[in-house]
Structure 1
């Protein structure tokens, strides 16, 4: 039996209604999700926000506390009546691994129930190959698991993977020998990793999980609907509608890289060709400079000078066009921009996108709020790590924002 599958299995069924066990599972997920969303909540507030009776909430909270998923806070005394006791998620109640597989690097992170990273590891490469990635991930996961007690090892909810859609299609751009990456067409890394590590594995597009990380741990609660752009080796993104990530029919919604645009010379181009770190890499190579430092999250970009300035101006122009194109389809409240670069670079890029939008004809389009993301290069790994938590313990975000009656 896989570690982690034995504990709290009743919570892992997200559907509600067909029988008492499923209703209980749904209600427990609802309580956990509300507490996660608000940090600390007393029983009375959970009952008010969930629509459940006070008695039902009491039973659920006692059960979740007994399972080690909730912790009691200090009593809060009011003017009358019994003091209320706020409940919070137990950081050590659940753990989860997240694996981001990128075109130039891979990250493995272990988080607790609050989403706080506990350990992380990274490898860089010229292009991703499954065997090397499988060895890296399984070794890191098994080594981290060995540091847990037998009891805590049962609290590992699983492994989430964020992986670019149709990775083999980027062979030429990343400089891999022709045909090398075709192996990805038939390699199921989720199944292979589950077989090696004996934890359940969940997989989604890497930019979509980055969007989910921003929704869950970043600016998400501020906006009901937003379009999200993540500038990595190639640009990607995600869509949030009614406080919930919309992944689409194939799980690839919001993959903005292939979005068609018109270049400065009037020819057709794609967003990924104009707004990715790949184009900055090419500019550095033309100048005889080694671009591999861009693959490291802690890299310093201060000495890039005019090359950086030109790249930022170029990227901002095309991101502005992409933002307006997206808002012509859906009336987004905000456009959030993040990426694998230092915080100060993100700030400058967002400022330039806003300035570039001001030069575009916006007749018939309501301008969204242009915002910085908050998580940065770790967004895809963190988002991947939330997949097991969402699948086994929590509910869709949209449930938490329904009108209170």
Structure 2
């Protein structure tokens, strides 16, 4: 998109966004996205604020605001009267202005979510399985989209603007770790899931790595608004993550930056193993099976684990030890201010992991390092699906200068 070289910096909730508008009519679409992005980040803005932050004239701002209001993308609030001059009218995002679908494809379950323009979940569907195959995912989405869209009032159904997919890359490479049949996981080798789903739904479809999508959800919708340089860790069937630098996601050369699973850490015998072998729900599943216990609650009710507190405590200690080693290694390379830990697990378990990881990190020799603050994630089990749904939101309506999206 065209940009003005004379950029002025304005502070948003989580990042500094040096963006300027243009008063040339040919850049109206860009200016609309710019205004929407600022209102989205700030929550409420008056016309005078938008003019000051973008460099757009008051007349241009008025035209853009009228256009966005006519499209039902923004709404006016009650006038706020100051000590002098005309009262200002705050603008905010209209939650019913647009809707987005997000699909999370996991190694043990899939989720399909519908969010509004403000990022609030409106409805969700979940499917558990021993391992995923393309046909079952396509069927789940094809029937699920109809159900979710029909949950909206008839007048709003045409405002569903796209489907985002969050999925692990190269699923077939994790057959052994997922305890899945080789022939079934090999079905993913020749599957272009985005194209397959685009053929069964009448909307644009986008694709992103699942852990990166979860990181995006924390960045955009999370509550740690002052965190703008952090390592994000998501504990699912495996463990993954993302890297946020100066308020934007750093995707890396292949879009896989922050793929923490292969990071080497010490195993039970002191020999190096991958982080995913020591910090993943898959490990707890194996511990449960070895003890003759049913692991299905891990996937069927990720917000409520019951009946195995003893093994959960043992697992948390293993996870914390591995995460602490990974965090110290990462902090030695990038001076992260924060580390945010989230996952498809109950909030109490997540809190215990954060507390235990903080303690484990302080056992290391940290001379020469400024240890990052370890925080709990604020999005939770829906992070990957919510991050997927944000892909069409940004691509169609907002300016995202840091994240590269795979658009249809």
| Cα contact 1:16–1:22 (8 A) shared by 2 | no
Give the counterpart of 1:304 among 296, 304, 308.
308
1:47-95 residue CA offsets vs partner (Å, 9 max, x unmatched):
2222323222222111111111010100001111110000011111010
Residue segments in structure 2 that go unaligned for 5+ positions in a row: 5-21, 404-408
Map 1:3-402 onto structure 2 (within 5 A): 14-16=1-3, 23-148=27-152, 152-396=156-400
| Cα contact 2:279–2:318 (8 A) shared by 1 | yes
Q: Secondary structure at the match of 2:232?
A: strand
Q: Secondary structure at the match of 2:181?
A: coil
Q: How many angstroms apart in 1 are the aligned matches of 2:346 and 2:286?
A: 19
Q: How many angstroms apart in 2 are the aligned matches of 1:219 and 1:66?
A: 31
Q: Structure 1 residues 22 and 181, CA, compared in 2 at 3 Å: closer, same or farther?
A: farther
Q: How many angstroms apart in 1 are the aligned matches of 2:324 and 2:289?
A: 26
Bigger proportion of residues as helix: 1
Q: How many angstroms apart in 1 are the aligned matches of 2:58 and 2:372?
A: 40
Residue segments in structure 1 that go unaligned for 5+ positions in a row: 1-13, 400-405
| Cα contact 1:15–1:22 (8 A) shared by 2 | no
| Cα contact 2:23–2:56 (8 A) shared by 1 | no
| Cα contact 2:194–2:207 (8 A) shared by 1 | yes
Relative to the length of structure 1, the TM-score reads 0.91
Quote the residue 1:402 is aligned against: none
Q: Structure 1 residues 115 and 205, CA, compared in 2 at 3 Å: closer, same or farther?
A: same
Q: How many angstroms apart in 2 are the aligned matches of 1:70 and 1:299?
A: 34
Q: How many angstroms apart in 2 are the aligned matches of 1:154 and 1:19?
A: 32
How far has the Cα of 1:198 moved from its partner? 1.2
Relative to the length of structure 2, the TM-score reads 0.90
How far has the Cα of 1:27 moved from its partner? 1.5
1:211-254 residue CA offsets vs partner (Å, 9 max, x unmatched):
00000111452112100000000000001111111112221111
Q: CA RMSD in A?
A: 1.9
